[in-house]
């Protein structure tokens, strides 16, 4: 019974943490404003998070807080490792591919294609970081208590989602082999860092409640 009490709110919070990624999928499919979708889905996810928090016990809140903080910290580190690994692969093997091609496109979807180049870049970077962090938070809520290799499995799920959208959206057909190598490599690094970080620090932060 105690196991069920803890898992249910964490499942909801994990799903809510996927709001930014879901917003991109909807924006690409419907050609709607990413900013508008982010506001609506973000508000809904925030409502779910606050609702679950208010209805949680003191013990549940301790676990939720620890997983949220651990996930955000892991997300920053894992996203940095993800970007660095892709850049190093491209530079080391002279791969004719811009690993950050999607970032300015993110910015255009949020503030419009007619905005200044610097503003587009800033908003694109912020959205990229937001995704990396929230995906890590979602993992921490859903699978953070499992073996670190689950981080790699989680990252491969993200890779599959990316692979189903990015090639046609960003017109990558001419560099599909290069894109595949760089993308898979980056997600392997992201998932490894995420899994190891969450596995280690949740044990420290939650202790005996770690498995709940």
pLDDT tens digits, one per residue of 36-46:
999 999 999 99
pLDDT at 207: 59
What are phi and psi for residue 11, nearest 5 degrees? -65, -45
Coil, helix or strand for 17? Answer: coil
Q: Whole-model pTM?
A: 0.91
The answer on pLDDT for 212 being more than 60 is no
| CA atoms of 131 and 157, how far apart (whole Å) | 14
The answer on pLDDT for 209 being more than 70 is no
Query: Among all chains, which residue has been given the structure tokens 């779910």?
Result: 48
For 173, left (φ over 0), alpha (ψ -120 to 50), or beta? alpha
With contact defined as beta carbons under 8 Å apart, do 190 and 155 qualify?
Answer: yes
The answer on pLDDT for 7 being more than 60 is no
Closest CA to 120 of 98, 104, 99: 104
- Strand spans (E) along 1-49: none
Confidence of residue 195 (pLDDT cuts 50, 70, 90): very high
- Strand spans (E) along 9-95: none
The answer on pLDDT for 194 being more than 50 is yes
- Rounded to whole angstroms, the maximal C-alpha distance in the chain is 55
| CA atoms of 79 and 193, how far apart (whole Å) | 9
| CA atoms of 162 and 166, how far apart (whole Å) | 6
Confidence of residue 9 (pLDDT cuts 50, 70, 90): confident
Mean pLDDT, the chain, integer? 91
Residue-wise pLDDT tens digits, 120-139: 999 999 999 999 999 999 99
Q: Which residue has the higher pLDDT, 203 or 30?
A: 30
């Amino acid at each position: 019974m105690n196991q069920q009490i803890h898992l249910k709110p964490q499942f909801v919070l994990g799903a809510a943490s996927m709001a930014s990624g879901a917003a991109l999928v909807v924006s690409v499919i419907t050609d709607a404003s990413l900013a508008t979708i982010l506001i609506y889905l973000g508000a809904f996810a925030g409502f779910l998070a606050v609702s679950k928090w208010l209805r949680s016990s003191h013990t549940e809140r301790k676990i939720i807080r620890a997983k949220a903080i651990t996930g955000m910290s892991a997300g920053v580190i894992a996203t940095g490792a993800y970007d660095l690994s892709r850049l190093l692969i491209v530079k080391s093997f002279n791969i004719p591919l811009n690993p950050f091609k999607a970032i300015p496109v993110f910015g255009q979807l949020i503030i419009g294609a007619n905005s200044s180049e610097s503003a587009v870049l800033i908003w694109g970077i912020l959205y990229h970081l937001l995704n990396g962090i929230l995906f890590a938070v979602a993992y921490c809520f859903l699978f953070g208590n499992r073996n670190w290799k689950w981080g790699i499995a989680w990252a491969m799920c993200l890779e599959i989602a990316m692979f189903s959208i990015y090639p046609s959206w960003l017109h990558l057909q001419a560099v599909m082999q290069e894109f595949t190598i760089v993308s898979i490599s980056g997600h392997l690094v992201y998932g490894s860092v995420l899994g190891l970080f969450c596995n280690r620090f949740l044990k420290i932060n939650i202790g005996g409640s770690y498995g709940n």
